[in-house]
Structure 1
Amino acid sequence: MSDSKVVFLDVDGTITTYENVIPESAKRAIRTARANGHKVLMCTGRSKAENPPELTEIGFDGMVGGNGSYVEVDDQVIMHVHIDAGQCRHIVDWCHERGLEFYLESNNGLFASERFREAARPVLQLYMGRKGVENADQLETDDVMHGMVYDGELYRDDVNKVSFVLSSYQDYLDAIEEFSDMKVGTWGGAGELALFGDVATKDIDKAVAVHKAVEALGTDMADTIAMGDAKVDIPMFEACATSVCMGSGGEEAKAAADFVTTDVDKDGLWNAFSHLGLV
Protein backbone atom coordinates (compact mmCIF):
# COMPACT_ATOMS: atom_id res chain seq x y z
CA MET A 1 0.00 0.00 0.00
CA SER A 2 1.35 3.44 -0.93
CA ASP A 3 0.47 7.02 -0.01
CA SER A 4 -0.64 7.69 -3.59
CA LYS A 5 -4.26 6.68 -4.28
CA VAL A 6 -6.18 5.88 -7.45
CA VAL A 7 -9.64 7.46 -7.35
CA PHE A 8 -12.48 6.33 -9.64
CA LEU A 9 -15.28 8.86 -9.95
CA ASP A 10 -18.70 8.32 -11.41
CA VAL A 11 -19.81 11.43 -13.34
CA ASP A 12 -23.58 11.99 -13.23
CA GLY A 13 -24.62 12.72 -9.66
CA THR A 14 -21.02 12.53 -8.42
CA ILE A 15 -18.89 15.08 -10.31
CA THR A 16 -21.85 16.84 -11.89
CA THR A 17 -25.26 17.63 -10.43
CA TYR A 18 -28.27 16.03 -12.10
CA GLU A 19 -28.65 19.31 -14.04
CA ASN A 20 -25.14 18.78 -15.48
CA VAL A 21 -23.65 21.58 -13.35
CA ILE A 22 -20.14 20.92 -12.05
CA PRO A 23 -19.66 22.50 -8.60
CA GLU A 24 -16.48 24.58 -8.37
CA SER A 25 -15.53 22.64 -5.24
CA ALA A 26 -15.58 19.40 -7.28
CA LYS A 27 -13.19 20.84 -9.86
CA ARG A 28 -10.93 22.07 -7.06
CA ALA A 29 -11.00 18.67 -5.33
CA ILE A 30 -9.93 16.79 -8.47
CA ARG A 31 -7.19 19.26 -9.40
CA THR A 32 -5.83 19.45 -5.83
CA ALA A 33 -5.79 15.66 -5.43
CA ARG A 34 -3.87 15.25 -8.71
CA ALA A 35 -1.44 17.99 -7.70
CA ASN A 36 -0.88 15.99 -4.48
CA GLY A 37 0.20 12.98 -6.54
CA HIS A 38 -3.04 10.98 -6.64
CA LYS A 39 -4.53 9.56 -9.84
CA VAL A 40 -8.12 10.48 -10.65
CA LEU A 41 -10.13 8.70 -13.36
CA MET A 42 -13.73 9.04 -14.53
CA CYS A 43 -15.71 5.81 -14.18
CA THR A 44 -19.02 6.40 -15.87
CA GLY A 45 -21.87 5.05 -17.93
CA ARG A 46 -21.14 7.84 -20.39
CA SER A 47 -19.34 7.24 -23.64
CA LYS A 48 -16.52 9.66 -24.48
CA ALA A 49 -18.68 11.76 -26.82
CA GLU A 50 -20.98 12.65 -23.91
CA ASN A 51 -18.28 14.54 -22.01
CA PRO A 52 -18.57 18.31 -22.54
CA PRO A 53 -15.35 20.41 -22.60
CA GLU A 54 -16.05 21.79 -19.10
CA LEU A 55 -15.71 18.26 -17.73
CA THR A 56 -12.62 17.11 -19.65
CA GLU A 57 -10.84 20.43 -19.00
CA ILE A 58 -10.76 19.66 -15.26
CA GLY A 59 -8.04 17.11 -16.09
CA PHE A 60 -8.10 13.36 -15.48
CA ASP A 61 -5.60 10.49 -15.57
CA GLY A 62 -7.98 8.33 -17.57
CA MET A 63 -11.54 7.25 -18.19
CA VAL A 64 -13.66 4.16 -17.77
CA GLY A 65 -16.66 4.64 -20.08
CA GLY A 66 -19.79 2.80 -21.13
CA ASN A 67 -20.11 1.31 -17.61
CA GLY A 68 -16.85 -0.59 -18.16
CA SER A 69 -16.72 -1.27 -21.90
CA TYR A 70 -13.98 1.33 -22.48
CA VAL A 71 -10.78 1.95 -20.51
CA GLU A 72 -8.32 4.75 -21.27
CA VAL A 73 -5.28 5.54 -19.11
CA ASP A 74 -2.90 8.45 -19.80
CA ASP A 75 -4.43 8.89 -23.30
CA GLN A 76 -3.83 5.22 -24.17
CA VAL A 77 -6.78 2.94 -24.91
CA ILE A 78 -6.33 -0.12 -22.68
CA MET A 79 -9.58 -1.92 -23.50
CA HIS A 80 -12.56 -1.29 -25.77
CA VAL A 81 -15.32 -3.90 -26.02
CA HIS A 82 -17.86 -3.03 -28.73
CA ILE A 83 -21.24 -4.42 -29.53
CA ASP A 84 -20.39 -6.14 -32.82
CA ALA A 85 -21.97 -5.02 -36.10
CA GLY A 86 -24.34 -8.01 -36.20
CA GLN A 87 -25.59 -7.41 -32.66
CA CYS A 88 -26.04 -3.70 -33.40
CA ARG A 89 -28.13 -4.45 -36.50
CA HIS A 90 -30.24 -6.91 -34.46
CA ILE A 91 -30.94 -4.30 -31.74
CA VAL A 92 -31.71 -1.53 -34.25
CA ASP A 93 -34.09 -3.76 -36.25
CA TRP A 94 -35.83 -4.99 -33.07
CA CYS A 95 -36.38 -1.41 -31.84
CA HIS A 96 -37.70 -0.36 -35.25
CA GLU A 97 -40.08 -3.34 -35.40
CA ARG A 98 -41.51 -2.47 -31.94
CA GLY A 99 -41.69 1.26 -32.69
CA LEU A 100 -39.21 2.08 -29.90
CA GLU A 101 -37.00 5.15 -30.19
CA PHE A 102 -33.36 4.67 -29.19
CA TYR A 103 -29.79 5.95 -29.36
CA LEU A 104 -26.50 4.20 -29.96
CA GLU A 105 -23.79 5.22 -27.48
CA SER A 106 -20.40 5.48 -29.16
CA ASN A 107 -17.20 7.38 -28.43
CA ASN A 108 -17.87 9.14 -31.75
CA GLY A 109 -21.31 10.42 -30.76
CA LEU A 110 -24.77 9.41 -29.56
CA PHE A 111 -26.56 8.32 -32.73
CA ALA A 112 -30.32 8.78 -32.36
CA SER A 113 -33.19 7.00 -34.09
CA GLU A 114 -35.47 8.90 -36.42
CA ARG A 115 -37.96 10.27 -33.86
CA PHE A 116 -35.84 10.06 -30.72
CA ARG A 117 -35.67 13.82 -30.11
CA GLU A 118 -39.49 14.12 -29.93
CA ALA A 119 -40.16 10.78 -28.21
CA ALA A 120 -37.49 11.27 -25.54
CA ARG A 121 -38.45 14.85 -24.60
CA PRO A 122 -41.33 14.04 -22.17
CA VAL A 123 -39.46 10.99 -20.82
CA LEU A 124 -36.31 13.01 -20.08
CA GLN A 125 -38.43 15.79 -18.55
CA LEU A 126 -39.93 13.20 -16.18
CA TYR A 127 -36.46 11.76 -15.48
CA MET A 128 -35.01 15.18 -14.60
CA GLY A 129 -38.11 16.12 -12.61
CA ARG A 130 -37.69 13.01 -10.46
CA LYS A 131 -34.14 14.17 -9.74
CA GLY A 132 -35.49 17.47 -8.44
CA VAL A 133 -34.39 19.63 -11.38
CA GLU A 134 -36.29 22.93 -11.47
CA ASN A 135 -38.39 23.66 -14.58
CA ALA A 136 -37.73 20.13 -15.85
CA ASP A 137 -40.88 20.37 -17.98
CA GLN A 138 -39.19 23.09 -20.06
CA LEU A 139 -36.17 20.99 -21.02
CA GLU A 140 -35.44 19.81 -24.55
CA THR A 141 -33.79 16.47 -25.32
CA ASP A 142 -30.54 18.22 -26.23
CA ASP A 143 -30.48 20.10 -22.91
CA VAL A 144 -30.19 16.76 -21.13
CA MET A 145 -28.13 14.71 -23.62
CA HIS A 146 -24.74 16.02 -24.74
CA GLY A 147 -23.32 14.73 -28.04
CA MET A 148 -26.54 13.70 -29.82
CA VAL A 149 -26.24 13.06 -33.57
CA TYR A 150 -29.39 12.99 -35.68
CA ASP A 151 -29.64 11.45 -39.19
CA GLY A 152 -26.47 9.41 -38.55
CA GLU A 153 -25.79 5.83 -39.65
CA LEU A 154 -27.50 3.37 -37.29
CA TYR A 155 -25.88 0.11 -38.44
CA ARG A 156 -22.53 0.60 -36.71
CA ASP A 157 -19.48 -1.27 -35.41
CA ASP A 158 -18.33 1.31 -32.80
CA VAL A 159 -21.21 1.06 -30.31
CA ASN A 160 -20.60 0.62 -26.55
CA LYS A 161 -24.24 0.44 -25.48
CA VAL A 162 -27.77 1.04 -26.81
CA SER A 163 -30.50 2.78 -24.80
CA PHE A 164 -34.16 2.74 -25.83
CA VAL A 165 -37.29 4.48 -24.53
CA LEU A 166 -39.56 1.96 -22.80
CA SER A 167 -43.20 2.06 -23.92
CA SER A 168 -43.86 -0.37 -21.05
CA TYR A 169 -41.92 -2.60 -18.64
CA GLN A 170 -42.74 -5.48 -21.00
CA ASP A 171 -40.27 -4.05 -23.52
CA TYR A 172 -37.51 -4.65 -20.99
CA LEU A 173 -38.69 -8.19 -20.21
CA ASP A 174 -38.89 -9.00 -23.93
CA ALA A 175 -35.43 -7.50 -24.51
CA ILE A 176 -33.95 -9.90 -21.93
CA GLU A 177 -35.37 -12.79 -23.94
CA GLU A 178 -34.46 -11.34 -27.35
CA PHE A 179 -30.86 -10.47 -26.42
CA SER A 180 -30.02 -13.45 -24.21
CA ASP A 181 -26.36 -13.24 -25.31
CA MET A 182 -26.11 -9.67 -23.98
CA LYS A 183 -26.52 -7.65 -20.77
CA VAL A 184 -29.94 -5.96 -20.60
CA GLY A 185 -30.79 -3.38 -17.96
CA THR A 186 -32.98 -0.37 -17.22
CA TRP A 187 -32.38 3.17 -16.04
CA GLY A 188 -34.33 6.27 -15.11
CA GLY A 189 -36.20 4.62 -12.26
CA ALA A 190 -36.54 1.37 -10.32
CA GLY A 191 -38.61 -1.58 -11.54
CA GLU A 192 -41.86 -0.64 -13.29
CA LEU A 193 -40.89 3.06 -12.99
CA ALA A 194 -37.90 2.56 -15.33
CA LEU A 195 -37.92 4.92 -18.31
CA PHE A 196 -35.22 3.42 -20.52
CA GLY A 197 -33.92 -0.03 -21.33
CA ASP A 198 -30.31 -0.60 -22.34
CA VAL A 199 -28.34 -3.36 -24.04
CA ALA A 200 -24.59 -3.90 -23.68
CA THR A 201 -22.02 -6.65 -24.00
CA LYS A 202 -22.09 -9.39 -21.36
CA ASP A 203 -19.51 -9.75 -18.56
CA ILE A 204 -18.64 -6.05 -18.60
CA ASP A 205 -19.08 -3.79 -15.59
CA LYS A 206 -17.21 -1.07 -13.77
CA ALA A 207 -15.36 -3.61 -11.58
CA VAL A 208 -13.74 -5.41 -14.55
CA ALA A 209 -12.64 -2.07 -15.98
CA VAL A 210 -11.25 -0.78 -12.66
CA HIS A 211 -8.94 -3.81 -12.44
CA LYS A 212 -7.73 -3.19 -16.02
CA ALA A 213 -7.04 0.48 -15.28
CA VAL A 214 -5.15 -0.27 -12.04
CA GLU A 215 -3.05 -2.86 -13.86
CA ALA A 216 -2.22 -0.33 -16.60
CA LEU A 217 -1.21 2.24 -13.96
CA GLY A 218 1.04 -0.31 -12.28
CA THR A 219 -0.58 0.32 -8.91
CA ASP A 220 -2.37 -1.86 -6.37
CA MET A 221 -6.07 -2.44 -5.68
CA ALA A 222 -5.29 -1.73 -2.00
CA ASP A 223 -4.79 1.91 -3.02
CA THR A 224 -8.11 2.38 -4.81
CA ILE A 225 -11.09 4.56 -3.92
CA ALA A 226 -14.47 4.53 -5.68
CA MET A 227 -17.09 7.27 -5.53
CA GLY A 228 -20.58 7.07 -7.01
CA ASP A 229 -24.28 7.50 -6.39
CA ALA A 230 -26.20 4.65 -8.05
CA LYS A 231 -26.80 0.91 -8.15
CA VAL A 232 -24.58 0.61 -11.25
CA ASP A 233 -21.64 1.83 -9.10
CA ILE A 234 -21.90 -1.06 -6.61
CA PRO A 235 -19.55 -3.42 -8.55
CA MET A 236 -16.97 -0.58 -8.51
CA PHE A 237 -17.55 -0.12 -4.75
CA GLU A 238 -16.96 -3.83 -4.18
CA ALA A 239 -13.81 -3.88 -6.32
CA CYS A 240 -12.11 -0.90 -4.66
CA ALA A 241 -10.50 -0.78 -1.21
CA THR A 242 -12.60 2.21 -0.12
CA SER A 243 -16.02 3.29 -1.38
CA VAL A 244 -17.98 6.50 -0.96
CA CYS A 245 -21.58 7.25 -1.89
CA MET A 246 -22.88 10.76 -2.47
CA GLY A 247 -25.51 12.02 -0.01
CA SER A 248 -27.78 12.58 -3.02
CA GLY A 249 -27.31 8.93 -4.10
CA GLY A 250 -29.70 5.99 -4.07
CA GLU A 251 -30.39 3.89 -1.00
CA GLU A 252 -28.82 0.70 -2.39
CA ALA A 253 -25.61 2.53 -3.25
CA LYS A 254 -25.49 4.15 0.19
CA ALA A 255 -25.89 0.75 1.87
CA ALA A 256 -23.05 -0.71 -0.21
CA ALA A 257 -20.55 2.12 0.46
CA ASP A 258 -18.04 2.42 3.31
CA PHE A 259 -19.30 5.91 4.05
CA VAL A 260 -21.66 8.56 2.72
CA THR A 261 -20.57 12.13 2.00
CA THR A 262 -22.79 15.19 1.50
CA ASP A 263 -24.91 15.82 -1.61
CA VAL A 264 -23.17 16.48 -4.92
CA ASP A 265 -24.24 20.16 -4.85
CA LYS A 266 -23.26 20.53 -1.18
CA ASP A 267 -19.51 20.05 -1.78
CA GLY A 268 -19.88 16.26 -1.57
CA LEU A 269 -16.78 15.53 -3.62
CA TRP A 270 -14.58 18.03 -1.77
CA ASN A 271 -15.80 16.83 1.62
CA ALA A 272 -15.09 13.19 0.72
CA PHE A 273 -11.63 14.02 -0.64
CA SER A 274 -10.91 15.99 2.53
CA HIS A 275 -12.13 13.14 4.76
CA LEU A 276 -9.88 10.70 2.85
CA GLY A 277 -6.81 12.96 3.07
CA LEU A 278 -6.54 13.50 -0.69
CA VAL A 279 -6.67 17.31 -0.45
Structure 2
Amino acid sequence: MKFVFDLDGTICFHGKPLTSEMVQTLDFLMEKGHELIFASARPIRDLLPILPVHMQHFPMVGGNGGFVYRSGLEVSTVYLEASIADHILTLLKQHEAEYLIDCQWDYCYSGNPEHPIRTNLDPECRAKNILLEELTQIVKVVVLSSRNHQEMLEALRNLPVVTYMHGTENIIDISPEGVNKWTGLQALGVFSHDFIAFGNDANDIPMFEYASRSICVGQHEKLAQIASERVESQEKNVMDKIIEIAERLEEESSIFDESKVEVEDSATG
Protein backbone atom coordinates (compact mmCIF):
# COMPACT_ATOMS: atom_id res chain seq x y z
CA MET A 1 0.00 0.00 0.00
CA LYS A 2 1.08 3.57 -0.68
CA PHE A 3 1.13 5.92 2.32
CA VAL A 4 1.03 9.63 1.47
CA PHE A 5 2.12 11.99 4.23
CA ASP A 6 1.79 15.72 4.53
CA LEU A 7 4.70 17.00 6.62
CA ASP A 8 4.26 20.16 8.73
CA GLY A 9 1.68 19.60 11.43
CA THR A 10 1.17 16.00 10.39
CA ILE A 11 4.38 14.01 10.92
CA CYS A 12 6.70 16.86 11.90
CA PHE A 13 5.97 19.83 14.12
CA HIS A 14 7.12 23.45 14.63
CA GLY A 15 9.15 23.34 11.42
CA LYS A 16 11.62 20.85 12.87
CA PRO A 17 12.95 17.75 11.04
CA LEU A 18 11.32 14.39 11.58
CA THR A 19 12.23 12.98 14.97
CA SER A 20 14.12 9.70 15.24
CA GLU A 21 10.94 8.12 16.65
CA MET A 22 8.89 9.19 13.64
CA VAL A 23 11.61 8.00 11.27
CA GLN A 24 11.58 4.60 12.97
CA THR A 25 7.81 4.46 12.55
CA LEU A 26 8.07 5.24 8.84
CA ASP A 27 10.88 2.70 8.49
CA PHE A 28 8.51 0.15 10.06
CA LEU A 29 6.06 0.82 7.22
CA MET A 30 8.76 0.17 4.64
CA GLU A 31 9.79 -3.03 6.38
CA LYS A 32 6.19 -4.16 5.96
CA GLY A 33 6.46 -3.56 2.21
CA HIS A 34 4.62 -0.24 1.97
CA GLU A 35 5.65 2.72 -0.20
CA LEU A 36 6.08 6.22 1.24
CA ILE A 37 5.25 9.45 -0.59
CA PHE A 38 5.58 12.94 0.88
CA ALA A 39 3.15 15.68 -0.18
CA SER A 40 3.76 19.16 1.19
CA ALA A 41 3.04 22.84 0.67
CA ARG A 42 6.80 23.32 0.89
CA PRO A 43 8.81 23.36 -2.33
CA ILE A 44 11.17 20.40 -2.73
CA ARG A 45 14.08 22.66 -1.70
CA ASP A 46 12.59 23.13 1.78
CA LEU A 47 11.09 19.67 2.03
CA LEU A 48 14.45 17.88 1.85
CA PRO A 49 16.06 19.31 5.03
CA ILE A 50 13.34 17.91 7.31
CA LEU A 51 13.75 14.37 5.99
CA PRO A 52 16.49 11.87 6.90
CA VAL A 53 19.03 11.24 4.13
CA HIS A 54 17.68 7.80 3.26
CA MET A 55 14.23 9.30 2.53
CA GLN A 56 15.35 12.25 0.41
CA HIS A 57 14.95 10.29 -2.84
CA PHE A 58 11.42 9.08 -2.09
CA PRO A 59 8.58 10.25 -4.36
CA MET A 60 7.59 13.80 -3.42
CA VAL A 61 4.90 16.33 -4.22
CA GLY A 62 5.93 19.86 -3.24
CA GLY A 63 4.37 23.29 -3.49
CA ASN A 64 0.85 21.82 -3.20
CA GLY A 65 1.35 19.93 -6.46
CA GLY A 66 3.50 22.45 -8.32
CA PHE A 67 6.64 20.34 -7.93
CA VAL A 68 6.78 16.57 -8.44
CA TYR A 69 10.00 14.60 -7.92
CA ARG A 70 10.99 10.93 -7.94
CA SER A 71 14.43 9.53 -7.09
CA GLY A 72 15.73 13.08 -6.70
CA LEU A 73 14.75 13.97 -10.26
CA GLU A 74 12.10 16.35 -11.53
CA VAL A 75 8.98 14.67 -12.87
CA SER A 76 7.05 17.87 -13.46
CA THR A 77 6.90 21.55 -12.49
CA VAL A 78 3.80 23.66 -13.13
CA TYR A 79 4.18 27.43 -13.45
CA LEU A 80 1.69 30.27 -13.23
CA GLU A 81 0.85 31.72 -16.63
CA ALA A 82 2.88 34.89 -17.18
CA SER A 83 -0.18 37.16 -17.39
CA ILE A 84 -1.64 35.67 -14.18
CA ALA A 85 1.70 35.99 -12.40
CA ASP A 86 1.94 39.65 -13.43
CA HIS A 87 -1.57 40.28 -12.12
CA ILE A 88 -0.66 38.71 -8.76
CA LEU A 89 2.50 40.81 -8.50
CA THR A 90 0.41 43.92 -9.14
CA LEU A 91 -1.99 42.90 -6.36
CA LEU A 92 0.93 42.36 -3.99
CA LYS A 93 2.10 45.92 -4.60
CA GLN A 94 -1.39 47.43 -4.40
CA HIS A 95 -2.11 45.75 -1.07
CA GLU A 96 1.37 46.41 0.35
CA ALA A 97 1.76 42.69 0.94
CA GLU A 98 4.65 40.75 2.39
CA TYR A 99 5.24 37.55 0.49
CA LEU A 100 7.26 34.49 -0.42
CA ILE A 101 7.44 33.65 -4.12
CA ASP A 102 8.88 30.33 -5.26
CA CYS A 103 10.43 29.80 -8.67
CA GLN A 104 11.79 26.46 -9.85
CA TRP A 105 14.49 26.57 -7.17
CA ASP A 106 15.22 30.15 -6.06
CA TYR A 107 12.76 32.39 -4.22
CA CYS A 108 11.85 36.01 -3.47
CA TYR A 109 11.07 36.85 0.16
CA SER A 110 9.92 40.26 1.38
CA GLY A 111 8.56 39.53 4.84
CA ASN A 112 9.70 39.93 8.42
CA PRO A 113 12.99 38.07 9.02
CA GLU A 114 11.47 36.70 12.25
CA HIS A 115 8.39 35.23 10.57
CA PRO A 116 8.08 31.42 11.09
CA ILE A 117 7.97 30.96 7.31
CA ARG A 118 11.36 32.69 7.02
CA THR A 119 12.97 30.56 9.72
CA ASN A 120 12.02 27.42 7.76
CA LEU A 121 13.01 28.88 4.40
CA ASP A 122 16.04 27.34 2.68
CA PRO A 123 17.80 26.42 5.97
CA GLU A 124 20.66 24.74 4.11
CA CYS A 125 21.21 27.72 1.76
CA ARG A 126 20.54 25.64 -1.35
CA ALA A 127 19.03 28.59 -3.25
CA LYS A 128 19.15 32.39 -3.66
CA ASN A 129 16.79 35.07 -2.42
CA ILE A 130 16.41 36.98 -5.68
CA LEU A 131 14.91 40.39 -6.38
CA LEU A 132 11.34 40.77 -7.56
CA GLU A 133 12.66 42.16 -10.86
CA GLU A 134 14.65 38.96 -11.40
CA LEU A 135 11.63 36.66 -11.22
CA THR A 136 10.92 34.67 -14.34
CA GLN A 137 8.68 31.60 -13.99
CA ILE A 138 6.67 31.45 -10.77
CA VAL A 139 5.32 28.21 -9.27
CA LYS A 140 3.78 29.36 -6.00
CA VAL A 141 3.07 32.54 -4.03
CA VAL A 142 2.48 32.82 -0.28
CA VAL A 143 0.99 36.07 1.00
CA LEU A 144 2.21 36.50 4.58
CA SER A 145 0.38 39.74 5.34
CA SER A 146 -1.25 42.65 3.53
CA ARG A 147 -2.97 45.96 4.18
CA ASN A 148 -6.39 44.27 3.85
CA HIS A 149 -6.11 40.48 3.84
CA GLN A 150 -9.79 39.81 3.10
CA GLU A 151 -9.83 42.23 0.20
CA MET A 152 -6.63 40.64 -1.11
CA LEU A 153 -8.18 37.18 -0.88
CA GLU A 154 -11.33 38.27 -2.73
CA ALA A 155 -9.23 39.79 -5.53
CA LEU A 156 -7.27 36.56 -5.87
CA ARG A 157 -10.46 34.50 -6.04
CA ASN A 158 -11.36 36.37 -9.23
CA LEU A 159 -8.24 34.96 -10.88
CA PRO A 160 -7.83 31.45 -12.35
CA VAL A 161 -5.70 30.21 -9.46
CA VAL A 162 -6.05 27.89 -6.46
CA THR A 163 -5.98 29.64 -3.08
CA TYR A 164 -5.79 28.19 0.41
CA MET A 165 -6.26 30.28 3.52
CA HIS A 166 -4.28 28.84 6.42
CA GLY A 167 -6.23 30.09 9.41
CA THR A 168 -3.72 29.31 12.12
CA GLU A 169 -0.97 31.19 10.29
CA ASN A 170 -3.23 33.74 8.54
CA ILE A 171 -1.44 33.29 5.23
CA ILE A 172 -2.76 32.89 1.68
CA ASP A 173 -1.29 30.12 -0.47
CA ILE A 174 -1.58 30.62 -4.27
CA SER A 175 -0.98 27.91 -6.90
CA PRO A 176 -1.76 27.59 -10.63
CA GLU A 177 -5.33 26.64 -11.52
CA GLY A 178 -5.93 22.89 -11.52
CA VAL A 179 -2.85 22.16 -9.43
CA ASN A 180 -3.10 20.45 -6.06
CA LYS A 181 -1.67 17.52 -4.14
CA TRP A 182 -3.90 15.02 -5.95
CA THR A 183 -2.76 16.16 -9.40
CA GLY A 184 0.81 15.85 -8.12
CA LEU A 185 0.15 12.29 -6.97
CA GLN A 186 -1.33 11.48 -10.36
CA ALA A 187 1.90 12.70 -11.99
CA LEU A 188 3.64 10.05 -9.88
CA GLY A 189 1.33 7.37 -11.26
CA VAL A 190 -0.84 7.07 -8.15
CA PHE A 191 -4.39 5.87 -8.77
CA SER A 192 -7.62 6.80 -7.03
CA HIS A 193 -8.28 4.80 -3.82
CA ASP A 194 -4.86 3.19 -4.12
CA PHE A 195 -3.30 5.03 -1.17
CA ILE A 196 -3.73 6.06 2.46
CA ALA A 197 -3.36 9.78 3.22
CA PHE A 198 -2.37 11.67 6.36
CA GLY A 199 -2.83 15.46 6.51
CA ASN A 200 -3.88 18.39 8.66
CA ASP A 201 -5.00 21.33 6.52
CA ALA A 202 -7.22 22.52 3.67
CA ASN A 203 -4.58 21.80 1.03
CA ASP A 204 -4.90 18.09 1.90
CA ILE A 205 -8.60 17.97 0.92
CA PRO A 206 -7.97 17.13 -2.78
CA MET A 207 -5.89 14.03 -1.96
CA PHE A 208 -8.26 12.99 0.87
CA GLU A 209 -11.10 12.90 -1.66
CA TYR A 210 -9.30 10.18 -3.64
CA ALA A 211 -7.69 8.19 -0.81
CA SER A 212 -8.84 4.72 0.24
CA ARG A 213 -8.38 5.84 3.86
CA SER A 214 -7.62 9.32 5.15
CA ILE A 215 -6.48 10.45 8.58
CA CYS A 216 -6.98 14.04 9.70
CA VAL A 217 -4.36 15.15 12.20
CA GLY A 218 -5.75 17.81 14.52
CA GLN A 219 -8.94 19.85 14.48
CA HIS A 220 -9.38 21.10 10.89
CA GLU A 221 -13.17 21.15 10.45
CA LYS A 222 -13.47 20.77 6.66
CA LEU A 223 -10.75 18.14 6.42
CA ALA A 224 -12.24 16.12 9.28
CA GLN A 225 -15.61 16.05 7.50
CA ILE A 226 -14.22 13.97 4.62
CA ALA A 227 -11.58 12.02 6.56
CA SER A 228 -12.00 8.36 7.45
CA GLU A 229 -10.46 8.93 10.88
CA ARG A 230 -9.05 11.70 13.05
CA VAL A 231 -6.22 11.76 15.58
CA GLU A 232 -5.00 14.44 17.96
CA SER A 233 -2.14 16.61 16.78
CA GLN A 234 0.48 14.88 18.91
CA GLU A 235 3.39 12.95 17.47
CA LYS A 236 2.73 9.83 19.55
CA ASN A 237 -0.92 9.70 18.47
CA VAL A 238 0.12 9.91 14.83
CA MET A 239 2.78 7.22 15.21
CA ASP A 240 0.33 4.94 17.01
CA LYS A 241 -2.21 5.40 14.20
CA ILE A 242 0.41 4.61 11.53
CA ILE A 243 1.37 1.38 13.30
CA GLU A 244 -2.29 0.50 13.90
CA ILE A 245 -3.13 0.87 10.21
CA ALA A 246 -0.06 -1.13 9.14
CA GLU A 247 -1.02 -3.95 11.48
CA ARG A 248 -4.63 -3.79 10.30
CA LEU A 249 -3.49 -4.08 6.68
CA GLU A 250 -1.30 -7.05 7.56
CA GLU A 251 -4.25 -8.74 9.28
CA GLU A 252 -6.54 -8.07 6.31
CA SER A 253 -3.92 -9.47 3.95
CA SER A 254 -3.57 -12.60 6.09
CA ILE A 255 -7.34 -13.17 6.10
CA PHE A 256 -7.45 -12.70 2.33
CA ASP A 257 -4.63 -15.22 1.81
CA GLU A 258 -6.36 -17.78 4.04
CA SER A 259 -9.64 -17.32 2.14
CA LYS A 260 -7.83 -17.73 -1.16
CA VAL A 261 -6.25 -21.00 -0.01
CA GLU A 262 -9.64 -22.31 1.13
CA VAL A 263 -11.20 -21.48 -2.25
CA GLU A 264 -8.32 -23.18 -4.10
CA ASP A 265 -8.55 -26.26 -1.87
CA SER A 266 -12.30 -26.43 -2.45
CA ALA A 267 -11.81 -26.18 -6.21
CA THR A 268 -9.18 -28.92 -6.34
CA GLY A 269 -11.14 -31.15 -3.91
Give TM class, smaller chain.
0.7 to 0.9
- What's the secondary structure of 1:184's corresponding residue? strand
- What's the secondary structure of 1:16's corresponding residue? coil
How many residues align? The count is 242
1:162 alignment partner in structure 2: 141
Q: How does 1:40-119 map to 2 (within 5 A)?
A: 40-57=36-53, 59=55, 61-113=58-110, 116-117=111-112
1:224 and 1:241 in contact (8 A); partners too: yes
Cα 1:150/1:94, change in 2 over 3 Å: farther
Of the two, which has the highest radius of gyration?
2
Q: How does 1:1-279 map to 2 (within 5 A)?
A: 5-20=1-16, 22-57=18-53, 59=55, 61-113=58-110, 116-117=111-112, 121=114, 124=115, 142-147=118-123, 152-154=130-132, 155-164=134-143, 165-168=145-148, 169-177=150-158, 180-189=159-168, 195-215=170-190, 220-246=191-217, 248-268=218-238, 270-277=239-246
Cα 1:146/1:6, change in 2 over 3 Å: same
> Alpha-carbon deviations, 1:133-157, whole Å to 9, x = none?
xxxxxxx663344458775132423
- Cα displacement (A) at 1:43: 0.7
RMSD of the alignment, in Å?
2.7
> Alpha-carbon deviations, 1:76-96, whole Å to 9, x = none?
432211124443333223312
- Cα displacement (A) at 1:227: 0.5
> Alpha-carbon deviations, 1:187-234, whole Å to 9, x = none?
244xxxx7222322101111222222234xxxx544311110112211
> Alpha-carbon deviations, 1:33-57, whole Å to 9, x = none?
1233211011111111222524252
Cα 1:102/1:28, change in 2 over 3 Å: same
Instruction: Write the letter of the residue equivalent to 1:209.
Output: G
2:193 and 2:210 in contact (8 A); partners too: no
Cα 1:78/1:142, change in 2 over 3 Å: closer
The alignment's TM-score, normalised by the length of structure 2, stands at: 0.78
> Alpha-carbon deviations, 1:148-168, whole Å to 9, x = none?
877513242342211122332
List alignment gaps of at least 5 residues for structure 2: 251-269
- Cα displacement (A) at 1:23: 3.1
More deviation in 200-209 or 30-39?
A: 30-39
2:102 and 2:138 in contact (8 A); partners too: yes
Higher relative contact order (CA 8 A, sep 6+): 1
List alignment gaps of at least 5 residues for structure 1: 125-139
CA–CA distance in structure 1, aligned partners of residues 157 and 233 of structure 2: 34
CA–CA distance in structure 1, aligned partners of residues 105 and 142 of structure 2: 16
> Alpha-carbon deviations, 1:93-148, whole Å to 9, x = none?
331233212110234143213xx225xx4xx4xxxxxxxxxxxxxxx663344458
- What's the secondary structure of 1:64's corresponding residue? strand
The alignment's TM-score, normalised by the length of structure 1, stands at: 0.75
Instruction: Write the letter of the residue equivalent to 2:188.
Output: A
Instruction: Write the letter of the residue equivalent to 1:32.
Output: F
1:82 and 1:157 in contact (8 A); partners too: no
